[in-house]
Chains A and B, each alone.
Chain A
Amino acid sequence: MTTVNMTVNGRKVSGEVSDRTLLSQFLRENLNLTGTHVGCDTSQCGACVVHVDGKAIKSCTTLAAQMDGTSVTTIEGLANGADLHPVQAAFREHHGLQCGFCTPGMIMTAVDMIERAKASGRKLDEKTIRAELEGNICRCTGYHNIVRAIEAAAAAMA
């Protein structure tokens, strides 16, 4: 067992984890942050995406022990109190979700996508959005409205 210390959604946390404990398990089991979902165990579906030090990663294939000293943001930490993040608001406005299971990972990926594009001065067109969603699978929406939501959020965050 290893003691890990990290900041999760702005709160300092620590926990005892075994060497094989995944970040997704640590978030879900130790911290009860069940908004991070596990859909495939193989880094393919992206339901587990969280931000570590501001970058999107797949928490189902990241060891908790590696995360010592990092700052993690999960879907639960994205909104500012009752104020939704623009990406969250856009997913609702554009019906970018149905069953909701892939949604936390989709939103975390989309935030990262928009912020990276903004930082590099790129405009996110549909083709780029679709290409950058490669690592997130949605079985419900057919992606149409997810793309609309990300386009709208990118405009709102510009």
Chain B
Amino acid sequence: MGMEGIGARVKRKEDQRFITGKGRYTDDFKMAGMHFAAFVRSPHAHARIKGIDKSAAEAMPGVVGVLDGKQLTGDGIGNIICGWMIHSKDGSPMNMGAWSALATEYVRYVGDAAAVVIADTEENARAAAGAVDVDYEVLPAIVDPAATLNAGAPQVHDNAPGNLIYDWEVGTDVKTVDEALANSVHVTEMEIRNNRLIPNAIEPRAALANYDMADDHFTLYTTSQNPHVARLVLSAFYQVAPEHKLRVIAPDVGGGFGSKIFIYPEEIVCLWASKRTGVPVKWTAERTESFLADAHGRDHVTKAWIGFDADNKITGFKIDTIANLGAYMSLFSSSVPTYLYAILMSGQYDIANVHCNVRAVYTNTAPVDAYRGAGRPEATYVVERIMETAARELGVDPAELRRKNFVRSFPHQTPLILCYDAGDYDATLDAALKAADYAGFPARRAEAEKRGKKRGIGLSCYIEACGLAPSAAVGSLGAGVGLWESAEVRVNPVGTVEVLTGAHSHGQGHETTFSQLIAERFGLPTDNVSIVHGDTDKVQFGMGTYGSRSGAVGMSAVVKALDKVEGKARKIAAHLMEADEADIVIENGEVKVAGTDKKLGWHEVCLAAYTAHNLPEGMEPGLKETSFYDPTNFTFPAGSYVCEVEVDPETGVTEVVQFVAADDFGRIINPMIVEGQVHGGVTQGIGQALLEHGIYTEDGQLVTASYMDYAMPRADNVPSYKLSTHETLCPSNPLGVKGCGEAGAIGSPPAVINAITDAIGNNNLSMPATPARVWAAMNG
């Protein structure tokens, strides 16, 4: 590799604009004549709209439109859909309730939009929104995911009887698993809740929509992780405009974590309202709107049973989960507790019998969808909490119980669809235990005891499935889209390179890491490369960034396109230098004939492609190639995390005193960026374990709707981290990369809770482990 090729810690190209205040986020854009949208949101968790009196609002200063759901549907705007079909185990399709971008008859959660005001200033729009008089008939609400299934619970959607969306299963026949558990020497049983989280990218969601009447064309600036998917869905399902008449731009986006994958009511309404009122319409969420109306994450209730034989080998594992999907099915919501959760239940372990049943339910809460890790943190929490608990019950070292059951031969077909392709779980566990000085823990605990602190240690060995995903495979499982990625490599006549990618960067640093692929291939400086993304008028198509897929899928597409570019460049060079194509070597920006002193500058070959004065016979001019890369398997990042905590027995306050992560992400393009991803992911996981909780009252009011109520991890809540990586290459993609974006959030929560429960000697503790809960667990 060159100085900036694969594996180099290249400083980020994008940083210059961010550190000087020159980033361009959606809310930074302005248009001539721009107006502002303010939404009229339901204060009730469940109500029937008896009528809307708009007269006072319409008469207020600056108001150009007060619009409601009947007008929206009357104009032919379609309902919001979930794009992944799940069939229940009885073969019936999931029960998807209708979701209009503005409510037509019912509102189903606090924050559900009943109307929108368009006015000349943000202040005028908000003031008028407050004057829209919606006459609500308040109905009983249900928020608890288990209670919503009870007979007599309020019904959220008529077409989902008993609030059940689907009742689905995967894995070994349940009778076989029950028999295996019955024949076990020891069975560990647990009830586990996974707390509702609210994603909270620091940039609130925003949209700026303009309808150009002259060209009958829409433009949408939006905070999206996947602008092409947004355009596809807006076009094909919501009938806003056909794709060629809709440009979607996701400029600099201030964090996503999954919450900006989905196409939300606000974008649809801004586009529609712009056409209806004839002005550009901007909406930027206030933070409380983000809390109310961004898709939330997690919120599972689970029972699990795991059996062991006399040798402590796992005999069977059964999981029964209720997943709260909120009031409406968001874009990928159905896939999260199924194909991103249940099929990970084998963890890093060789288990012959695993069965997982999932019931997805409606409640009067904000929609729940993918949030960093999406299903895999929930799965890892179940697997790694129950493994740690079982080790304590069996009286064996938690590390040894895991080691006893590791998968060691690959490929490994689990009973849960997935086939693990490569890994070395001993290596990451060894590395983590060494870095954590696991052997020295008893001495540290004794020392803490002298200071009046309870010290505990907890492990977590996670696996995840990333690199989403082989299109035919996900299609057969119900996905409404393919999950390939596209790339176009344009070499300019002067030899500089533009890479157009369908992946989208909202913090991941693609401008740097994708450029490193070109530096590696041609020996060019990354400064000679520009990465183009986030604009449907520039990049033809792409599936965007989520599920740790940009490296495994997006970069693979770039590599495939580079193969074609290199092939053509070699042919041109061989022709120009009258050499055999096989003897052409491209390195350090030069094109040479091996074994001779003949060479051309890279730029000379590129220029020759464009002057076309002397090309091989029949060759088209130009140097530009495209690839659509469809993965052949998921990728399987895995690793081991060790958390060490000290609990103050007087107050129940937990301090994370050491956190060690040893990850296997396959090939690493830029270690600096990978470390940053782990730091951020682990912090979100510690946030889930100690601090964060989206809480609804029984009647459906969200009481954690600002940063004064929802505890975000801050700098003094977390330690500095000790990281290491171990590389086993992914065999299914050309770079051998696995993905690193979600691991931290997936692996860390059980490590933290295992450490706290170890410290306090009581295993009955739910996330978030607030001081009050920890104190109660110690003294209850």
Known: A133-B716, A134-B716. A75 touches B203 (CB 8 A): no
Contact-size category for B: 35 or more
Closest chain A CB from B671 CB (angstroms): 10
B596 within 8 A of A: no
A45 within 8 A of B: yes
Give the residues in chain B near A129, CB-CB below 8 Å. 715
Give the residues in chain B near A103, CB-CB below 8 Å. 18-19, 23
Give the residues in chain B near A93, CB-CB below 8 Å. 11
Asked if A137 and B18 make an inter-chain contact with CB atoms under 8 angstroms apart, the answer reads no
B252 within 8 A of A: yes
Known: A42-B707, A98-B676, A147-B720. A92 touches B12 (CB 8 A): yes
Give the residues in chain B near A142, CB-CB below 8 Å. 676, 678-684, 713, 718, 721, 744
Asked if A34 and B254 make an inter-chain contact with CB atoms under 8 angstroms apart, the answer reads no
A102 within 8 A of B: yes
Q: Which of B443-451, B505-513, B645-653 lies at the interface with chain A?
A: B505-513
B563 within 8 A of A: no
Give the residues in chain A near B476, CB-CB below 8 Å. none
B28 within 8 A of A: yes
CA distance A34 to B721 in the complex (A): 33
Give the residues in chain A near B123, CB-CB below 8 Å. 18, 20
Give the residues in chain A near B287, CB-CB below 8 Å. 39-42, 45
Residues 39-72 (chain A) with a chain B CB within 8 angstroms: 39-42, 44-45, 47
CA distance A74 to B675 in the complex (A): 30
Asked if A92 and B21 make an inter-chain contact with CB atoms under 8 angstroms apart, the answer reads no
A13 within 8 A of B: no
Give the residues in chain A near B678, CB-CB below 8 Å. 142
CB < 8 Å: which of B203, B288, B708 contacts A39? Answer: B203
B201 within 8 A of A: yes
B202 within 8 A of A: yes
Asked if B676 and A141 make an inter-chain contact with CB atoms under 8 angstroms apart, the answer reads yes
Asked if A100 and B20 make an inter-chain contact with CB atoms under 8 angstroms apart, the answer reads no
> Who on chain A is nearest to B290 by CB?
A40
Asked if A139 and B21 make an inter-chain contact with CB atoms under 8 angstroms apart, the answer reads no
CB < 8 Å: which of B11, B14, B683 contacts A100? Answer: B14
Give the residues in chain B near A20, CB-CB below 8 Å. 123
Closest chain A CB from B677 CB (angstroms): 8
Contact with A along B502-521 (1 / 0, CB 8 A): 00001111000000000000
Asked if B715 and A130 make an inter-chain contact with CB atoms under 8 angstroms apart, the answer reads yes
CB < 8 Å: which of A126, A134, A139 contacts B200? Answer: A139
Give the residues in chain A near B173, CB-CB below 8 Å. none
Give the residues in chain B near A40, CB-CB below 8 Å. 287, 706-707
Asked if A143 and B254 make an inter-chain contact with CB atoms under 8 angstroms apart, the answer reads no
Closest chain B CB from A39 CB (angstroms): 5
Asked if B716 and A130 make an inter-chain contact with CB atoms under 8 angstroms apart, the answer reads yes
Give the residues in chain A near B675, CB-CB below 8 Å. 95, 145
Which of B680, B683, B712, B715 has the most A CB atoms < 10 Å from its CB?
Answer: B715
CA distance A42 to B706 in the complex (A): 8
Asked if B19 and A99 make an inter-chain contact with CB atoms under 8 angstroms apart, the answer reads no
CB < 8 Å: which of A18, A140, A144 contacts B721? Answer: A144
Asked if B254 and A99 make an inter-chain contact with CB atoms under 8 angstroms apart, the answer reads yes
A79 within 8 A of B: yes
B257 within 8 A of A: yes
Closest chain A CB from B633 CB (angstroms): 28
B714 within 8 A of A: yes
Asked if B254 and A145 make an inter-chain contact with CB atoms under 8 angstroms apart, the answer reads no
Give the residues in chain A near B19, CB-CB below 8 Å. 75, 84, 88, 91-92, 97, 100, 103, 107
A124 within 8 A of B: no
Contact with A along B91-102 (1 / 0, CB 8 A): 000000000000
Residues 90-117 (chain A) with a chain B CB within 8 angstroms: 91-93, 95, 97-104, 107
Closest chain B CB from A27 CB (angstroms): 10
Asked if B680 and A140 make an inter-chain contact with CB atoms under 8 angstroms apart, the answer reads yes
B16 within 8 A of A: yes
Closest chain B CB from A42 CB (angstroms): 6
Closest chain B CB from A38 CB (angstroms): 8
B672 within 8 A of A: yes
Asked if B201 and A139 make an inter-chain contact with CB atoms under 8 angstroms apart, the answer reads yes
A138 within 8 A of B: yes
Closest chain A CB from B549 CB (angstroms): 17
Give the residues in chain B near A130, CB-CB below 8 Å. 715-716
Give the residues in chain B near A143, CB-CB below 8 Å. 679, 683, 714-715, 718
Give the residues in chain B near A78, CB-CB below 8 Å. 20-21
B631 within 8 A of A: no
> Who on chain A is nearest to B123 by CB?
A20
Asked if A42 and B509 make an inter-chain contact with CB atoms under 8 angstroms apart, the answer reads no
Known: A142-B679, A144-B720. A104 touches B202 (CB 8 A): no
CA distance A101 to B27 in the complex (A): 11
Contact with B along A118-158 (1 / 0, CB 8 A): 00000000110111011011111111111100000000000
Asked if B706 and A137 make an inter-chain contact with CB atoms under 8 angstroms apart, the answer reads no
A4 within 8 A of B: no
Asked if B286 and A41 make an inter-chain contact with CB atoms under 8 angstroms apart, the answer reads yes
Closest chain A CB from B14 CB (angstroms): 7
Asked if A140 and B715 make an inter-chain contact with CB atoms under 8 angstroms apart, the answer reads no
> Who on chain A is nearest to B284 by CB?
A38
Asked if B720 and A34 make an inter-chain contact with CB atoms under 8 angstroms apart, the answer reads no
Residues 18-43 (chain A) with a chain B CB within 8 angstroms: 18, 20, 28, 33-42
CA distance A38 to B672 in the complex (A): 28
A16 within 8 A of B: no
Which of B17, B18, B19, B506 has the most A CB atoms < 10 Å from its CB?
Answer: B19
Asked if B202 and A39 make an inter-chain contact with CB atoms under 8 angstroms apart, the answer reads yes
CB-defined A-B contacts under 8 Å, sample of 23:
A34-B25, A42-B706, A44-B707, A45-B287, A45-B707, A76-B21, A78-B21, A84-B20, A92-B11, A95-B672, A97-B18, A100-B14, A100-B18, A101-B254, A103-B19, A134-B716, A136-B714, A138-B715, A139-B202, A139-B680, A140-B676, A142-B676, A143-B715
Top 4 closest pairs, chain A to chain B, by CB: A35-B21, A101-B254, A100-B18, A142-B683
CB within 8 Å of B: which residues of A? 18, 20, 28, 33-42, 44-45, 47, 74-76, 78-79, 84, 88, 91-93, 95, 97-104, 107, 126-127, 129-131, 133-134, 136-147
Given contacts A35-B23, A133-B714, 9 further A-B contacts (CB under 8 A): A39-B287, A76-B21, A92-B12, A95-B12, A99-B507, A100-B14, A101-B201, A139-B255, A144-B679
